């Protein structure tokens, strides 16, 4: 578990909501993972709500110092998965029967060119409704609820949501509205524009999707896009978001690999990754077949390798069937997905890296930037007017060709053969051209955007030499940003409501309904003590003498101070961070000088959390989440009471307690470990000993 003294009590917390995240091997996970590590290394606590590639991640575990995991599992879809498997089996039988086991047409199968039957039309409409927005909607709903819960517990300042899946952006918008905080929408790929390009005849679906996209982006405090073309289209469609759209491209991680100029007299082309729909390798294979027909070409010095998924049934065409009986069959290798070590070995042996980016007008494959940093020559097959072509334009060592010109593709392969095989040299990207695509610059841009929408105390650093393009004006980024007051008040109301529900669960467990909640708010002195403390904490953190709301809060704070002393016989330090859903005893007699009290903690009467002055200086305690503290306890000094710990009555504690431990006595000692105190925190019953109980 994370050290609460170092990170859990930092008031500046960013919540990242992203379906892919490390340790997932999805390439989309690298952007958010790198950003989370960067923010944590710069003193900002990061909480990540993600599926984590369905890896076994423990809730609350630390993925990186300062990066806390909140896993949300993907819901199972047994019937849908069965339908997909049956469809793939039927398509595979269709491939075999159409190929006859011998040969296949040179062009891949185009389903739009075939007459649609009634069965196919109904099937398409069914999946069109099922996949509206995307097929991660149920996961995003669960992620939104998890984000709301952890946002209240950890005092999150801002949410950053990354899509696709774009339903995660909707989840973030809803969670941010409930928490009363800003959120940033990061669009790794375009949303409605992808549907408009792929299926322009779906007008009703496109209109609904554009309306939903506009609602999400208008409510975002900032919008980031990896594509300048996509960002321009967003700003053109809705002028209200033009000033908050920023272009933050993807990038490569780590350092640039040493360039490999000498090829050893061979041409080895490698494609490593996932073959997406419409990113077809067949034009390249056809050009390679034409090249091998030339008498001066030595086929033994040429190798083309495809490594990864979506190979055998790509574009409804078996690659093996296409290669059967052709010259290029002897030089083409197909490999299944490999480990990262095996991929690195293949890259080390390759002389040319292949990038297929066809029919992606507004997108740049994330692997483009990683290939630039490998020190290898790159062959990019894409349209001349697409975003990828604009990014790589002018970079030495990158050959870009449009697949619509087969003769040009053959000439490009012939030029590669002459340079790599005959001359034995390759042209690699220059370090100066590659350096501007470093992930460090993308993280710097993200830092500026997050600082412009939330008061994050990130340490200032030297501005990068290369600036990413942005559609927002330079004056739009404030030097000392402030969270809007309406969002702060919304968050305050949400915390008080969470406190009231927690009190009702303890004091009126057999009652429900809004009347019961109102009675709980009126009848519990501890709840009023907690509310007045939150008002005092608000005044301390948002000192603004020009704001009338601040002066009203100051008046309420003065009333609360009198209430705390006269009615509750209690005093709480104004700078103490108390998480949502904590319980302070209605009997009062509390003296709290702690740094923080975590969410879900239950504190009984006549407790003192104070400073301890010794030769090392002055220290204050920090109480974790879900801690149970009995009456007549004293906790003093620079110590941490871990999550889920239990402090039995009449204890005097002066040392840190690990999570789940039970302490007792004067002086206190650990009498049990790995104890589950959830039963104690569900009622106001006071126990004096748990050593004989089973957890």
Tens of pLDDT, residues 503-552: 888 876 556 666 777 777 777 888 888 888 888 877 766 665 566 766 77
pLDDT over 70 percentage in the chain: 81
Cβ proximity of 158 and 450 under 8 Å: yes
Structure letter (DSSP) for residue 593: -
Q: Rounded to 5 degrees, what are φ and ψ at 543? A: -75, 110
Task: Using alpha carbons, select from 656, 499, 646 the residue that is nearest to residue 4.
Answer: 656
How far does the chain reach from its first CA to its final CA, in angstroms? 20
- Dig out the tokens for 665 from the structure: 């006595």
How many C-beta atoms lie closer than 10 Å to residue 201's C-beta? Answer: 6
pLDDT at 467 (0 to 100): 45
pLDDT at 424 (0 to 100): 92
pLDDT value at 334 more than 70: yes
Residue-wise pLDDT tens digits, 392-428: 988 999 999 998 888 999 999 999 999 999 999 999 9
- Dig out the tokens for 581 from the structure: 């859903």
Q: How many CA atoms lie within 13 A of 631 on its CB side?
A: 12
Task: Using alpha carbons, select from 523, 611, 534 the residue that is nearest to residue 567.
Answer: 523
Sign of CA dihedral 139, 145, 151, 153: negative
Beta bridge partners of 591: 571, 608
Q: How far is residue 521's CA from residue 106's CA, in Å, rounded to a whole number?
A: 74
State in words which class domain 491-682 has.
mainly beta
* Sheet with strand 302-307: strands edge to edge: 332-335, 302-307, 267-272, 352-356, 377-381, 398-401
Cβ-based neighbours of 238, under 8 Å, separated by 6 or more: 214, 217, 218
Query: What CATH superfamily classification does 267-435 receive?
Result: Glycogen Phosphorylase B; (3.40.50.2000)
DSSP string covering 150-164, please?
A: HHHHHT--EEEEEES
Task: Using alpha carbons, select from 613, 551, 542, 527 the residue that is nearest to residue 574.
Answer: 542
Q: How far is residue 191's CA from residue 188's CA, in Å, rounded to a whole number?
A: 9
Cβ proximity of 433 and 426 under 8 Å: no
Calculate the alpha carbon distances from 79 to 54, 85, 132 in Å: 19, 10, 18
Cβ-based neighbours of 123, under 8 Å, separated by 6 or more: none
In the block, residue with structure tokens 């509205």: 177
pLDDT at 87 (0 to 100): 64
pLDDT at 482 (0 to 100): 46
Residue-wise pLDDT tens digits, 434-480: 998 999 889 998 988 888 887 665 444 444 444 444 444 333 333 33
Residue-wise pLDDT tens digits, 53-92: 889 899 989 899 889 999 999 887 666 667 666 666 665 5
Confidence of residue 486 (pLDDT cuts 50, 70, 90): low
Residue-wise pLDDT tens digits, 569-597: 788 887 788 888 888 988 888 888 888 89
Burial label for 59, CB within 10 Å (0-12, 13-18, 19+), is exposed
Bigger pLDDT: 248 vs 477: 248
What is the biggest distance separating any 2 CA atoms in the chain, rounded to whole angstroms? Answer: 100
Query: Quick check: helix, strand or coil at residue 524?
Result: coil
pLDDT at 223 (0 to 100): 93
Residue-wise pLDDT tens digits, 644-675: 999 999 999 989 999 999 999 988 999 999 89
Residue-wise pLDDT tens digits, 146-169: 999 998 888 888 999 998 899 999
- Average pLDDT, stretch 180-198? 87
pLDDT value at 172 more than 50: yes
Residue boundaries of the structural domains of the chain:
4-74+136-250+438-474, 267-435, 491-682
- Average pLDDT, stretch 89-104? 48
- Dig out the tokens for 559 from the structure: 């009333």
267-435 and 4-74+136-250+438-474 share a CATH fold: yes
Residue-wise pLDDT tens digits, 202-215: 888 889 999 999 99
Q: How far is residue 39's CA from residue 47's CA, in Å, rounded to a whole number?
A: 11
Confidence of residue 241 (pLDDT cuts 50, 70, 90): confident
pLDDT value at 487 more than 70: no
Average of per-residue pLDDT values in the chain: 81
Task: Using alpha carbons, select from 222, 131, 205 the residue that is nearest to residue 169.
Answer: 222
Q: Give the rounded distance of the alpha carbon of 408 from its chain centre.
A: 41
Cβ proximity of 307 and 271 under 8 Å: yes
Q: How far is residue 506's CA from residue 419's CA, in Å, rounded to a whole number?
A: 77
Task: Using alpha carbons, select from 244, 246, 220 the residue that is nearest to residue 166.
Answer: 220
DSSP string covering 542-566, please?
A: S--TT-HHHHHHHHHHHHHHHHHHH
- Average pLDDT, stretch 352-375? 89
Pick the CATH number of 4-74+136-250+438-474 from 3.40.50.2000, 2.130.10.30, 3.40.640.10, 3.40.50.1860: 3.40.50.2000
Cβ proximity of 345 and 320 under 8 Å: no
pLDDT value at 9 more than 50: no
pLDDT at 254 (0 to 100): 86
pLDDT at 1 (0 to 100): 39
Confidence of residue 269 (pLDDT cuts 50, 70, 90): very high
């Amino acid at each position: 578990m994370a050290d609460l003294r170092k990170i859990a009590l930092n008031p500046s917390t960013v919540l990242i909501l992203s379906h892919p995240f490390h340790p997932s091997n999805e390439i989309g996970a690298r952007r958010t993972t790198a950003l989370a590590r960067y923010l944590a290394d710069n003193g900002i606590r990061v909480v990540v709500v993600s599926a984590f590639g369905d890896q076994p991640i423990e809730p609350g575990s630390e993925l990186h110092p300062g990066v806390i995991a909140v896993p949300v599992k993907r819901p199972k879809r047994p019937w849908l998965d069965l339908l997909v498997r049956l469809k793939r089996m039927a398509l595979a039988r269709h491939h075999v029967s159409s190929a006859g086991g011998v040969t296949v047409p040179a062009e891949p199968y185009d389903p739009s060119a075939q007459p649609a039957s009634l069965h196919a039309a109904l099937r398409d409409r069914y999946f069109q409704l099922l996949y509206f927005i995307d097929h991660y909607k149920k996961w995003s709903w669960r992620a939104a609820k998890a984000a709301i819960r952890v946002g209240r517990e950890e005092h999150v300042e801002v949410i950053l949501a990354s899509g696709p899946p774009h339903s995660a952006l909707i989840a973030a918008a809803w969670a941010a509205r409930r928490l009363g905080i800003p959120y940033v929408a990061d669009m790794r790929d375009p949303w409605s524009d992808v549907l408009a390009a792929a299926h322009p005849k779906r007008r009703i679906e496109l209109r609904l999707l554009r309306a939903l996209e506009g609602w999400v982006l208008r409510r975002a405090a900032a919008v980031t896009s990896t594509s300048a073309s996509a960002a321009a289209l967003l700003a053109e469609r809705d002028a209200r978001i033009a000033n908050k759209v920023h272009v933050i491209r993807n990038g490569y991680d780590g350092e640039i690999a040493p360039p490999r100029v000498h090829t050893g007299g061979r041409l080895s082309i490698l494609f490593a990754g996932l073959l997406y729909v419409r990113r077809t390798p067949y034009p390249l294979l056809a050009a390679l077949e034409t090249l091998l027909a030339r008498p001066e070409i030595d086929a033994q010095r040429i190798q083309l390798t495809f490594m990864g998924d979506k190979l055998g049934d790509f574009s409804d065409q078996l690659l093996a069937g296409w290669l059967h009986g052709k010259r290029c069959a002897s030089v083409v290798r197909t490999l299944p997905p490999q480990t990262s070590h095996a991929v690195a070995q293949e890259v080390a042996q390759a002389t040319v890296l292949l990038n297929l980016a066809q029919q992606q007008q507004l997108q740049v494959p994330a692997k483009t930037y990683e290939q630039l940093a490998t020190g290898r020559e790159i062959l990019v097959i894409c349209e001349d007017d697409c975003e990828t072509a604009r990014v790589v334009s002018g970079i030495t060592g990158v050959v870009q060709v449009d697949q619509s010109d087969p003769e040009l593709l053959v000439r490009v392969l012939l030029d590669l053969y002459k340079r790599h095989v005959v001359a034995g040299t390759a042209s690699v990207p220059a370090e100066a051209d590659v350096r501007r695509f470093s992930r460090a610059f993308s993280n710097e841009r993200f830092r500026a955007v997050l600082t412009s929408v939330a008061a994050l105390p990130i340490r200032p650093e030297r501005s990068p030499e290369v600036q990413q393009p942005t559609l927002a004006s330079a004056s739009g980024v404030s030097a000392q940003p402030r969270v809007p007051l309406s969002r702060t008040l919304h968050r305050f109301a949400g915390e008080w409501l969470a406190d009231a529900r927690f009190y009702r669960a303890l004091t009126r467990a057999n009652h429900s309904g809004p009347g019961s909640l109102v009675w709980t708010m009126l009848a519990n002195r501890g709840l009023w003590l907690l509310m007045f403390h939150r008002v005092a904490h608000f005044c301390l953190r948002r000192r603004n003498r020009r704001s009338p709301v601040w002066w009203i809060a100051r008046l309420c704070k003065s009333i609360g101070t009198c209430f705390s002393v006269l009615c509750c016989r209690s005093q709480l330090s104004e700078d103490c961070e108390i998480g949502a859903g904590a319980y302070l005893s209605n009997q009062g007699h509390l003296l709290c000088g702690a740094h923080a009290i975590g969410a879900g903690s239950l504190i009984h009467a006549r407790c003192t959390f104070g400073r301890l002055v010794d030769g090392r200086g002055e220290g204050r305690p920090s109480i974790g989440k879900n801690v149970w503290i009995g009456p007549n306890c004293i906790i003093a000094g620079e110590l941490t009471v871990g999550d889920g710990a239990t402090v039995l009555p009449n204890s005097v504690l002066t040392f840190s307690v690990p999570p789940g431990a039970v302490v007792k006595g004067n002086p206190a000692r650990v009498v049990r470990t790995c104890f589950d105190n959830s039963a104690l925190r569900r009622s106001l019953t006071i126990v004096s000993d748990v050593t004989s109980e089973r957890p």
